[in-house]
Chain A
Amino acid sequence: MTDGAKGDWYTMRVAAISLAGLPVNQLSDYAAALTGLLDRLQVRLAVLPAHTSFFLCAAGGHVGETADFVESYRRFMQQSSEWNKRFLATHSDLARSSGIYLVAGTTVEQADGLFYHTAYCFGPDGEICCRQRQTHLTREERSLGLSRGVELHLFDMDGTKAGLIVGVDALHPEVARIFALQGADLIAHTGALLAGASVRLQPAGMWAQVQQNQFWAVESQLRGSICSRAFGGDCAVIGPCEVTPGSTGYLDRQDAERPFAAAELVEADRSRIRSEYPLLRLLHLDAYRVLPQLYMQDARPDSCNRPLACDMEGD
């Protein structure tokens, strides 16, 4: 738990939870099991993975009988507004009853006729303290008709500046850089990497973003299957290599015995390395002056220079 003192010297215990092993067929059973786990972990911040809402909805049999992930997701999108009332209320209660910050993973948010892949964080009072839309989409997400968010939100967590990074935004370093340059101390990442080859990409995500931005990251990855699609990333608590055992960059990682990762963040350690090796001060802004023009002229085959909902018609 946070010791209450701020500045460079606070500590905070955090956890990333994969959902593996939790009962998910009934929301009430899930909530009871998660409450028990949170009681054991004694953390101030817990992070759940991407697709938590869809996972619970599908496991509960609310999207009908289909083994096809994409078809199932389309159905979920259509009923997400109704389902979200239960999903969000459940996690609001969990955050309040446990007295913690809880990143509830992601759900589909409908707004102004558009669909977004959105993460929610609840404060210890059960109120939403951050809602973050995914800003970069996979090819499949574009084909499903999701739209990109265009804002990144920092929020206060007991004096810590925190942000949420959703899904493949972790693999787009612009997102982490914007957060870092706005002063983010901690990023909660809610992810869902496919089992198999995609898992090899994981270090290029939050781990790499932590190393080039020197914030903390609490990375939750979904473990389990939804409609025959298996997810297999590892939960982790990540810091700059220099402040972690063996310089691995990991304070803790999930293993076969534990479907979660939990660790104590010692801000003094991070502050020290940021002072000795001030990476962000070594940015060379003059050399980046071409970037805005390059972004706008982006000729990559999959580039999208149009604003919101540019791929609604799919690929």
Chain B
Amino acid sequence: MALDGWKERLFRRYLYWLCRPARLRRRLTALIGEGGPVHTSVPLPDGGRLRVAALQVKVKLSKDPLDYASEVHRMVREAASAGAQLAVFPEYNNIQLLGMLPGVEEMSRAISDGGSSEERREERGNRREGSSRPAVTVADVIRYVGPVMSQFLSVLYSTLAAAYRVHVMAGSFLLPDGEGVVNRAYLYGPDGRLIGTQDKVHLMPVEMDWGLSAGTEFHLFETGVGRVAAPVCMDATFYETFRILELMGAEVVMIPIANPEPYNYWLALRGIWPRVQECPVYGIKSALVGSALGFAFTGRAGVFAPVELTPDGSGVLAEVASAEEEGVAVAEIDLHALREFRLNHPWRDSNPELYVRYFPSVYQA
């Protein structure tokens, strides 16, 4: 394993000390204690109506993990103040903690697999042929620092969910899992317990180059805020994700994103919005924005619904105005209205004979 010299091992002990739960809890107690939680007992949905918050987080590398904890606390508190019973954080929501590593900005090249597109392609080609391999890969870095982050993140999001009595989808984290590294979303309940996780199933090519492992199944969680799921970013590009979850019974699908390209309305439209129309569910998109590690992330967090369930027929219930700055989009969703809509859907249909005739042979082809 790379990054396993005595200096690295010593430094990791320092990181464990920096991220120790007692230190984090002291900070959280102080933060939460400042006026106490805004809603210590946010009621769970009655009549199927609930408020949800899509968070848009501006990435900032944190040398001290407590700075990151303070930022996360501020956003959970803001969501709870707005009456949200579910707060949704974005993809890669732990890369801020890479700021603990010295020289992390210089590591940008390794993270982004820098250089021109042509150079990147050439490097990928060389690597596949085994002729060249970076000394330290992204997966190596995550394997090195992941165990430290994992414990810290668990305490942080669990504590905040319980303190504010909200469901918190913590976003997705790059974390080690056995020999592999995954992009994994975490969902916490209002009692602070981990409800479940979801590994990103459809990886971007650059994530494959980083050495990430893809998830192989989609999970549905029965919660106090409905039947929810949390596939990650690129998973929304493929209708299969939403169809599987819809057929499993999903009512709310959360999509954390971290899109490393300039914002374009049409490019952004290729994800959650059409999926919500195809498979009638509520959709919550959370976005990481800002620059870090050689990437400039953009996106507009929002809450989406079938056009028939939005007052203006747009399919958008709430959306952050800026694609580059922090924000929160809060909206009320109505699970009973969704169920009623599905019962009387004007155009939805299924044709199993067609699917059996062509699937899975066309997939195999």
Interface residues of A (CB under 8 A from B): 135-140, 142, 148-152, 168, 171-175, 177-178, 181-182, 197, 200-201, 203-204, 207-208, 211-212, 241, 246-249, 279, 282-292, 294-298, 300-305, 307-308
CB distance from B199 to the nearest CB of A (A): 10
CB distance from B342 to the nearest CB of A (A): 6
Pairs A-B, 5 closest by C-beta atoms: A208-B274, A204-B277, A173-B239, A181-B362, A294-B247
Number of B interface residues at 8 Å Cβ cutoff, please give it. Answer: 56
CB atoms of A246 and B237 under 8 A apart: no
Beyond the given pairs A171-B278, A291-B247, 17 more chain A to chain B contacts, judged by CB atoms under 8 angstroms and listed by A's residue number, are A148-B354, A150-B353, A151-B357, A172-B351, A178-B354, A182-B365, A200-B307, A208-B277, A211-B270, A211-B274, A290-B244, A295-B247, A295-B352, A302-B342, A304-B349, A304-B351, A307-B353
B218 to chain A: closest residue by CB: A287
CA distance A104 to B217 in the complex (A): 43
B364 to chain A: closest residue by CB: A285
CB atoms of A287 and B217 under 8 A apart: yes
Main secondary structure of the interface of A (DSSP, over half): helix
CB atoms of A291 and B266 under 8 A apart: no
Please count the residue pairs between chain A and chain B whose beta carbons lie under 8 angstroms apart in the complex: 181
Which B residues touch A282, using CB under 8 A?
Answer: 202-203, 205, 234, 237-238
Which B residues touch A249, using CB under 8 A?
Answer: 266
CA distance A139 to B343 in the complex (A): 11
Residue B48 lies at the interface, judged by CB distance under 8 Å to chain A: no
CB atoms of A279 and B349 under 8 A apart: no
CB atoms of B248 and A285 under 8 A apart: no
CB atoms of A138 and B347 under 8 A apart: yes
Question: Which of A171, A282, A307 has most B Cβ within 10 Å?
Answer: A282
A194 to chain B: closest residue by CB: B346
B343 to chain A: closest residue by CB: A301
A200 and B349 in contact, given A177-B239, A288-B244 (Cβ under 8 angstroms)? no
Residue B23 lies at the interface, judged by CB distance under 8 Å to chain A: no
A200 and B314 in contact, given A135-B351, A295-B247 (Cβ under 8 angstroms)? yes
CA distance A174 to B238 in the complex (A): 11
Which B residues touch A298, using CB under 8 A?
Answer: 247, 350, 352
Which A residues touch B246, using CB under 8 A?
Answer: 300
Residue B313 lies at the interface, judged by CB distance under 8 Å to chain A: yes
CB atoms of A241 and B270 under 8 A apart: yes
CB atoms of A287 and B354 under 8 A apart: no
CB atoms of A204 and B278 under 8 A apart: yes
CB distance from A196 to the nearest CB of B (A): 8
Residue B240 lies at the interface, judged by CB distance under 8 Å to chain A: yes
Which A residues touch B348, using CB under 8 A?
Answer: 300, 302
Residue B328 lies at the interface, judged by CB distance under 8 Å to chain A: no
Residue B358 lies at the interface, judged by CB distance under 8 Å to chain A: yes
CB atoms of B216 and A178 under 8 A apart: no
CB distance from B79 to the nearest CB of A (A): 28
Which A residues touch B350, using CB under 8 A?
Answer: 136, 295, 298, 300, 302-305
CA distance A297 to B354 in the complex (A): 15
Among B160-183, those with CB < 8 Å from A are: none
Contact of B359 among A178, A204, A208, A304 (CB under 8 A): A178
CB atoms of B307 and A136 under 8 A apart: no
CA distance A287 to B248 in the complex (A): 14
Which A residues touch B307, using CB under 8 A?
Answer: 197, 200-201
Which B residues touch A203, using CB under 8 A?
Answer: 269, 273-274
CB distance from B301 to the nearest CB of A (A): 20
CB distance from A123 to the nearest CB of B (A): 25
Which A residues touch B243, using CB under 8 A?
Answer: 173-174, 291, 294
CA distance A286 to B201 in the complex (A): 10
Which B residues touch A151, using CB under 8 A?
Answer: 354, 357
CB distance from A249 to the nearest CB of B (A): 6
